[in-house]
Structure 1
């Protein structure tokens, strides 16, 4: 069976748009990714997954 590389979830700070790789935890053989508690650049705690960032940005601009 071929190994499929894992996709690391990325998070975008809603305030300053800096992107972070999620920190990983493991439970029952499954990995879970989490954003930082606060953005190290601006201190804001609000993050959105990279895949959802465009949709969130469009919602906020209307």
Structure 2
């Protein structure tokens, strides 16, 4: 699942660690999501969108490979 977390995080002036703290996960979790190695739960996706002040469907985009 593609995402724009890194871009949105930069716009808000947040580090991975800063964002992680705000949504109560580790920096490694934020890194894995940004690198598309991990898809967050619905609750975590909502928290990320809320902190980054963006709609979930603007933050995350499904790709055809995600349908399998």
The alignment's TM-score, normalised by the length of structure 2, stands at 0.23
Identify the structure with the greater helix proportion.
Answer: 2
Q: Identify the structure with bigger relative contact order (alpha carbons < 8 Å, sequence gap 6+).
A: 2
Identify the structure with the greater strand proportion.
Answer: 1
Pick the structure with greater CA Rg: 1
The alignment's TM-score, normalised by the length of structure 1, stands at 0.24
